[in-house]
């Protein structure tokens, strides 16, 4: 791989509009409360990735955005040195393929995509992913629901021609429990060398929020974890008000 190529993390996110984000948190949380927690997750992921990008040379971070412009988010991303691009049209697979292709066009040799459903992801997760991509063509971070919280691609041509993202994002049943298994099978059929990181969790339901409350405010707090400060603030406020005890 050329020495001038960089590593790039692409964050997939969408406009924080009530009724469009974190809808599975309802009815336990209102639509407006769902926006509040979504913004916290988004800000924490942006902060984590932005911090990773500044730790070493030849690193870049990009926010892949869907929906109406959001000035607060765009200003925060700009402050963190994160560029913003549009996801474009199509299903999730088409949009992720486009994201990898865009990163390659910007000079990325290795690309990792993350979403906003895992606010407790750390820079260590990213470091591990890029380490795997030094010897594999694809890496996934499996989540407990059958999907993945992270996917990484080495953008070099695969054996026989073509690129990994032309394979792993096609013919996948998105938003099902078989996303990862289908993606892995697609990679295997194409002869791609793949690997997995450790399991982590997405926060999609109110029960997930209560689990996050314990994991972040109790367990990770005692481990000295300093990330997810926006999410921590929201959860502490809701804990004090009894919002999470239902």
Question: Whole-number mean pLDDT of the chain?
Answer: 93
Q: What domains can you pick out in the chain, each with its CATH number?
A: 6-201 (3.90.550.10)
- CA–CA separation, 132 and 112 (whole Å): 11
pLDDT band at 156 (very low <50, low <70, confident <90, very high): confident
pLDDT band at 2 (very low <50, low <70, confident <90, very high): very low
Following DSSP, what letter does each residue of 95-156 receive, concatenated? Answer: HHHHHHHHHHHTTEEEEEEE-SS-TT--HHHHHHHHHHHTT-SEEEEEBTTSSEEEEEEE-S
Mean pLDDT of 118-133: 97
Please report, rounded to a whole number, the percentage of residues in the chain having pLDDT higher than 90. 88
Q: Tell me if 152 sits within 8 A of 112, measured CB to CB.
A: yes
pTM above the 0.85 mark? yes
Q: How far apart are the first and last CA of the chain?
A: 53
In tens, the pLDDT along 18-35 reads: 999 999 999 999 999 999
Structure tokens belonging to residue 115: 């979403």
Please give the sequence-ordered ranges of beta strands (E in DSSP) within 27-77, or none if there are none: 59-66
In tens, the pLDDT along 8-19 reads: 999 999 999 999
pLDDT for the residue 163: 79
- CA–CA separation, 149 and 130 (whole Å): 15
pLDDT for 131 beyond 50:
yes
- CA–CA separation, 85 and 133 (whole Å): 24
pLDDT for the residue 1: 43
pLDDT for 161 beyond 70:
no
pLDDT band at 108 (very low <50, low <70, confident <90, very high): very high
Vertex 182 angle, CA 176 and 187, to 5°: 145
Mean pLDDT of 131-159: 91
Q: Tell me if 179 sits within 8 A of 147, measured CB to CB.
A: yes
Please report, rounded to a whole number, the percentage of residues in the chain having pLDDT higher than 70. 96
Q: What residues pair up with 151 in beta bridges, in sequence order?
A: 113, 140
């Amino acid at each position: 791989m050329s020495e001038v190529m960089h590593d790039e993390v692409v964050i997939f996110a969408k406009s924080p509009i009530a009724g469009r984000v974190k809808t599975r948190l309802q009815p336990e949380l209102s639509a407006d409360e769902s926006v509040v927690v979504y913004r916290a997750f988004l800000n924490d992921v942006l902060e984590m990735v932005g911090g990773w990008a500044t730790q070493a040379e030849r690193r870049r971070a990009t926010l892949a955005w869907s929906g109406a412009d959001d000035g607060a988010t765009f200003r925060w991303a700009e402050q963190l040195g994160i560029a913003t691009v549009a996801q474009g049209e199509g299903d999730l697979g088409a949009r992720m393929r486009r994201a990898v292709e865009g990163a390659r066009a910007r000079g990325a040799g290795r690309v990792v995509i993350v979403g906003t459903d895992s606010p407790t992801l750390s820079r260590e997760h990213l470091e591990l992913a890029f380490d795997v991509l030094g010897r594999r063509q694809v890496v996934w971070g499996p989540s407990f629901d059958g999907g993945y919280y992270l996917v990484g691609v080495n953008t070099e041509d695969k054996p026989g021609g073509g690129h990994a993202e032309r394979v792993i994002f096609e013919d996948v049943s998105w938003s099902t429990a078989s996303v990862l298994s289908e993606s892995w099978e697609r990679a295997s059929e194409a002869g791609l060398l793949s690997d997995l990181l450790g399991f982590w969790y997405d926060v999609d339901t109110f029960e997930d929020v209560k689990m996050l409350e314990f994991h972040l405010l109790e367990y990770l707090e005692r481990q000295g974890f300093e990330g997810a400060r926006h999410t921590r603030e929201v959860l502490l406020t809701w804990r004090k008000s009894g919002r999470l005890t239902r």
